[in-house]
Amino acid sequence: MKLLDPGVEIRPIAIRRKKANPWVKKGQGYRAGIDVLRAATEPMAATEIAKAMLEKKGITEPDKGPFIDFAQGVYTSLKNHDGRTVEGVGHHPVRWRLK
């Protein structure tokens, strides 16, 4: 921005900070998801996996907003590993199983 307009004031622009997940530490979410899939008898959707992960931690009724973010993170993790350790089955919702 300073290259295009040297007079622009950049101090008031807030830095975007990512909120830490309240339920799992960084790097632990995918591993916990794989543990859930190992115990599963059939493919599961990302929201089902997220719910099972939280139930293992003793959380039965999480807040809706943070849970949606958590489930989306689980889905993204699984999608990033699709074809290697997990595979998606179906279209909507994609159900996941170990490869």
| Residue ranges covered by each domain of the chain | 29-98
What ranges make up the beta strands (E) of 1-99? Answer: 44-45, 86-89, 95-98
Residue 25: the pLDDT is 84
Q: Which residue has the higher pLDDT, 47 or 24?
A: 47
Residue 94: the pLDDT is 92
What is the spatial distance between Cα 10 and Cα 75, in angstroms, rounded to a whole number? 35
Is it true that domain 29-98 has CATH number 1.20.120? no
Q: What is the mean pLDDT of residues 3-14?
A: 85
Cα 94 vs. chain centroid, distance in angstroms?
Answer: 14
